[in-house]
């Protein structure tokens, strides 16, 4: 009799263990890894010299947010190691359905067909001030949202922008008599960046 009762209890315990495991499996959500890179190059016009920085961004160094006016994507490597920051802003009226699509950069050269505004900052090493370049400069490029899941709010994509014939951003700190000119190239990608609604 004792053996029968003991066996019964073992069956009950096994049943509840299986039920708990099933519930845990259903409630466990695997969050994809958030990844992003950004590369910045100063390509000097009067020489073959190039100055480059490459960043692997952590979650706290990038933001995808949306409010009633715009969708905004920020890439801002932490200071002082990071001297560059890039902000994309797309008006709600310019967004494709489901966000997925290619958004040309708006600038002096393509103001009518541009969909995304950008602001690029290069910070000085010695101070918190920065050189700022925006859609008022001559630039070309795009940001592409390649995937967006409305259920999870996760987005992935890439960007490439060239800002043409501008004063060397590093010269603003030293203030030389004749600063050099350069083309600035910004490119990168992002995976599984989560949308925050303001």
> Tens digits of per-residue pLDDT, 45-68?
988 899 999 999 988 899 999 999
Does residue 107 share a domain with residue 155? yes
Query: How far is 196 from 100, CA to CA, in rounded Å?
Result: 17
Q: How many domains does the chain have?
A: 2
Q: What angle do CA 84, 64, 35 make, to 5 degrees?
A: 70
Alpha-carbon torsion (79, 159, 187, 55), positive or negative: positive
Does residue 128 share a domain with residue 149? yes
Query: Which pairs with CB-CB distance under 8 Å and at least 24 residues apart come from 125-132?
Result: 125/80, 125/83, 125/173, 126/173, 127/173, 128/79, 129/172, 130/85, 131/167, 131/169, 131/172
Quick check: helix, strand or coil at residue 15?
helix
Does residue 87 share a domain with residue 62? yes
Does residue 40 share a domain with residue 8? no
> Tens digits of per-residue pLDDT, 113-137?
899 999 999 988 766 678 888 877 8
Does residue 99 share a domain with residue 21? no
Global pTM reads: 0.80
Mean confidence (pLDDT) of the chain: 83
Instruction: Please give the residue range of the domain that contains residue 62.
Output: 33-197
């Amino acid at each position: 009799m004792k053996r029968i009762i003991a066996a019964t209890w073992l069956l009950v315990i096994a049943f509840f263990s299986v039920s708990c495991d099933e519930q845990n499996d259903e409630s466990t959500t695997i969050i994809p890894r958030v990844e992003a890179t950004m590369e910045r190059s100063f390509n000097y016009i009067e020489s073959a010299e190039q100055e480059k920085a490459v960043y692997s961004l952590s979650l706290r160094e990038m933001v995808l947010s949306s409010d009633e006016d715009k969708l905004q994507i920020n890439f801002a490597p932490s200071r002082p190691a990071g001297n560059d920051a890039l902000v994309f802003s797309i008006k709600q009226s310019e967004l494709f359905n489901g966000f997925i699509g290619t958004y040309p950069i708006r600038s002096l050269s393509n103001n009518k067909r541009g969909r995304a505004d950008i602001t690029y900052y290069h910070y000085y090493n010695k101070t918190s001030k920065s050189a700022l370049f925006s859609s008022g400069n001559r630039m070309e490029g795009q940001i592409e949202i390649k995937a967006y899941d409305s259920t999870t709010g996760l987005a992935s994509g890439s960007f490439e922008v060239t800002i043409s014939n501008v004063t060397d951003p590093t010269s603003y700190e030293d203030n030389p008599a004749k600063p050099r000119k350069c083309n600035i190239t910004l490119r990168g990608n992002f995976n599984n960046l989560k949308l925050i609604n303001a």
